[in-house]
Amino acid sequence: MECLNAEIPADGVTKSIETEDIAENVVKADETTLANGEDEAGTPGEEYAYLERNEFTSEIFKVEVKNMGYFGIGEFKKLLRNTLKFDVTKIKAPTRKEFAFVCFRSQEDQQRGLEILNGYKWKGKVLKAHVAKASADPLQKKRAAEDQESEKKPKKQRTAVEATCPLSHIAYDQQLKQKSEEMSALLAKYTQELRKVNPRAKPHLDKFQFHEVLPSPTVNGYRNKNEFTVGKNSAGEVVVGFRLGCYSDGSVEVAEVADLPHLPEQAKWAARSFQDLVRKSKFLPFNPDGNVGHFRQLMVRCSSATGELMLVAGIYSSNLSEDEQAELKEELKSFYEELGKDAPYKCTSLYYQDVKHREAGQTINPVEHISGSTHITDTIQGLQFRISPLAFFQINTEGANVLYQKAIDLVAPTKDTTMLDICCGTGTITLAFAKHCKKVMGVEIVPDAIKDAEFNAEANGIKNAKFFTGNADDFIKSMVREALYDQEPGKPLDLIAVVDPPRAGLHHRSIAAIRSADAINRLVYVSCNPHSAKRNFIELARPESKQYKGEPFYPKSAVAVDMFPHTMHTELVILFEREPKTKADEKSAPAEGAAQSKSEATEEAASEENTASVT
């Protein structure tokens, strides 16, 4: 699956804030003082006004658990969710030592949690539980601190260019040089760590090569997807653009995007036109300081191949009646229909997205088609791809051509090769490999993405592709069995896997599933965040153990592609291969496995909070 919002800081800071998000952001800053017994909720005021809103926040159903000793956040989550069957919204443990905070969905759940956890014996400790006070709103907390330090010189606010394109002031060849040095240093650190974890990796690491960072064919205006925030600038004017900071840092200022080099003119026009609409409308821009207003965000997708432009208007509807929502939808439709007559660009696909607090179990905010076509189409590797509003698609289309070709070149598939695409998204990598392989299979947890993938295969006349909807962990073995079933008797199976996971990398269960699938002999790992993926690289190459069964995958070669010019981010592609098991390996594996199991369990539990399940 292509990485979502993983390439530039702008996408991170444009994330909308809800009442529950406010509490999420402040827990980190405040829970340590709570653990030390400070009554930070003792002073009423604006810092706790969010608790009085007619909206859900689990901060009012928070419990502090003490006397825990040292623990892993992963094992604590399993205790709460699997063993005790608690329905919790958040679990926070800033030090993973002695205490943690647990937020429940209701007072009834909170009371049950208190009764069970207080006095519960776990890991040789008797737990203590009591009601915890809610955390302060970070924005209001910062403002209060600023009022107390009014004589302090104000901190210079970043510009939109500084926040989203920190390398734009550097010549592009120097950007590539800087990124090459960074990737070389990261891989050197990785190989050094792997030598300690698995001494048998040494001969492979001695041959491991990092080639270079390849340039993007398009340096400016390359982003085909952008998520803009509706807010106000420092002068108080309504703006559609990028947030200059995070809510948890006390910042809600939004800056215009006209000067950003990585945005195409279509996207800039979309932001300006939506800004005009919001300024004229009777409906208000959303303000996270109080959760008031309606216009919250705008997602823009554009195609360099067809010129199509998709707009998804994110509306905060909690304070709107059904009639008002209908009126707002009609306003959106009429505005862009009228605008299309004389404007330099045309909105070819318009959606309404209800962006408010998600219900339990809800993973996305629903979208509703308003006008125009339901999809846009773009081209990678000479193939046409239909893209729906919420589908994953590489941000840099021209860069994706280079990226996918390098992945193909590294693994060198033949007409006897079967390829498994784990996290396949809309099938872009799967279908790019199809003409080079006997058969390709992809798995993806998002049903709409699989519908797009199947449509794309049929539209491009590709007959050797098959897609599955579900969690990759559950489908890896079944896909391997299907590949073995299709193989001619007596003929060796050439089975390769490609993974392109979210920014946080693969969950360790996915790595374990890949390791245990002995038929997979080569693996291409495409990472949009190599710093986070380094943990996966180590897990792939660890010695065989109880947790990671199957021979290790050793790194053979790597290449990076600059998918995100002007930013600090780079896409890294690494080819891993297994070494055939020998009799000597079989004898030593059990002893090595026993030595590794305890340390692996501790590391995995500690990293659980920062991993992403396969999607």
Tokens 């959106």 locate to 332
Q: Please tell me the number of Cα atoms within 13 Å of 517 on its side-chain side.
A: 31
Measured between alpha carbons, how far is 183 from 126 in angstroms, rounded to an integer?
47
Q: What is the DSSP letter of 49?
A: G
- Assess contact for 466 and 401: CB atoms under 8 A: no
347 is a catalytic site residue: no
Interatomic CA distance for residues 74 and 81, integer angstroms: 11
Residue 127 identity: L
**Residue bearing tokens 């108080």:** 236
Instruction: Compute the half-sphere exposure of residue 316: CA atoms within 13 Å on the CB side of its CA.
Output: 24
- Give yes or no for a contact between 36 and 98, defined as CB atoms under 8 angstroms apart: no
> What is the spatial distance between Cα 125 and Cα 76, in angstroms, rounded to a whole number?
13
Distance CA 131, CA 136 (A): 16
Contact 420, 476 (CB under 8 A): yes
Identified catalytic residue from 103, 165, 347, 528: 528
Q: Are strands 128-131 and 62-66 parallel, antiparallel or unpaired?
A: antiparallel
Angle, helix 138-148 to helix 19-35, in steps of 10 degrees:
60
Binding residues for S-adenosyl-L-methionine, as ranges, are 394, 444, 500
> How distant is the alpha carbon of residue 265 from its chain centre?
26
Annotated binding site: 394, 444, 500
Encode 256-265: b = buried (16+ Cβ within 10 Å), e = exposed: bbeebebbbe
Angle between helix 508-516 and 472-486 (nearest 10) = 20
Residue that is written with structure tokens 């295969």 in the block: 457
- CA dihedral (144, 16, 510, 194) in degrees, to 10, reads -50
3-state SS string over 33-101?
A: HHHCCCCCCCCCCHHHHHHHCCCCCHHHHEEEEECCCECCHHHHHHHHHHHCCCCEEEEECCCCECCEE
Rounded to 5°, angle at Cα 327 from 322 and 329 = 95
By annotation, the residues acting in catalysis are: 528
